[in-house]
Amino acid sequence: PGVCTLGGRYGNCEPVSKMGVLSVHTPDGLTAERWRAGLTTFSDLKASGHSTARVVQGVGAKSGAGGAAASGVIAKYFSDKRFGFVSPSGGGRDLFFHESSVEPGLRVRPGLAVTYSVGADKRGRPECKSVAASDAAGAGARSDAKSGSADGAHVRLRCFSMNQPFAGLVAHGHKTLETRNGTMFMGSEGEMVLLHVGRRTYPDGGKHLDIMRRAGVAEEDIGRLTRLPRGFDRGQVVAILELGETELLDRETRCTHDIEHQACAYGDDMGKYATRVLRTAWLSSPVPMRGQPGLFNVQVPLAAIPDGWKVRDGTVTQGSSDDVSETDLVFEFEV
């Protein structure tokens, strides 16, 4: 095998290296320094009898690549667009990061000293997968949680993502049966989970509208139930739900009008496993975040949890705000 020198797409280097080829990551393009690094590494590996199937990571991506922590500073941050760039301490090109990769409570600003880890985006380009304040950043880098303010108190919950219009139908409490072909919600009965709205629109050809009209839902209500309230948008965690029992439904049961009305889908279009949605509520304020497949863990401000839902033993449970005592609340502070 010889030396394979690639461009800035770190995601291409790893699969090539698995073919037995030494891959050299070149985030700043092919330079004499990168070329010499590849030749030197190749010679040393061959002389020592070790495999050449590995990646020589580039400056600016080698620190933090593969999950290891690296250091740098925030070069730019666009709060309105929720992304920015980290300048690696070792030099090299600035690395993109999305707000969702930043540790909760971190006050992001240009010049802030941070640690980060690097992965690859869907197109194979290096990007920060996690960004946290470094020891050099100082205590002021994080929100002050010692006062018990909403900025510093967070709660961890599981979350799942749905596209419109079905996310709105669930959050409004109209769609009370969520169906899947997998067992994603099996064992989640009684659990409180969060609902994230995906960026796309699910293409069902308007069948949900036919079912809602068949059930006698007025056009005005259809418009309201399929939209998100003002201030809420796609790409955000918007609601909290209480899940009920998950059961396997046969085709005959799925095709009954009652089940179709609850699922807002025809029996032949819905999943085989049906999960009851017992209760829903909009968050006090939406939380911008990237969606993920399946059920995934998220951390949201405690202040976003609406009245009527309380935190006990680290989880959100039923109850009115009147019967929540200080001992019932489990605060997770960023300190």
Q: Spell out the per-residue pLDDT of the chain, length 335, in tens.
A: 455 555 445 456 656 655 667 777 665 566 666 676 677 667 655 655 556 665 555 544 344 444 457 888 898 888 778 889 998 887 778 899 988 888 877 788 888 888 888 888 878 888 888 888 887 665 556 543 322 233 358 888 899 999 999 999 999 999 999 999 999 998 889 999 999 999 999 999 999 999 999 999 999 999 999 999 999 999 999 999 999 999 999 999 999 999 999 999 999 999 999 999 999 999 999 999 888 888 888 888 888 999 888 655 445 555 433 333 332 333 333 32
Cβ neighbors of 47 (< 8 A, separation 6 or more) are none
Query: What integer pLDDT is reported at residue 59 of this predicted model?
Result: 41
Q: pTM for this one? A: 0.53
- CA–CA separation, 63 and 82 (whole Å): 24
223: its two tokens: 């418009």
Query: What integer pLDDT is reported at residue 333 of this predicted model?
Result: 33
CATH number of 153-333: 2.30.130.30
Query: What integer pLDDT is reported at residue 121 of this predicted model?
Result: 81
Cβ neighbors of 138 (< 8 A, separation 6 or more) are none
- CA–CA separation, 127 and 85 (whole Å): 9
Q: Are 196 and 291 in contact (CB under 8 A)?
A: yes
Q: Where are the beta strands (DSSP E) in 165-272?
A: 177-180, 192-201, 236-248
- Range 70-141: architecture per CATH: Beta Barrel (2.40)
Query: What integer pLDDT is reported at residue 46 of this predicted model?
Result: 65
Query: What integer pLDDT is reported at residue 307 of this predicted model?
Result: 84
**Domain segments of the chain as ranges:** 3-56, 70-141, 153-333
Give the neighbor-by-neighbor strand order of the sheet with 55-56.
3-5, 22-24, 55-56
Query: What integer pLDDT is reported at residue 60 of this predicted model?
Result: 40
- CA–CA separation, 126 and 132 (whole Å): 17
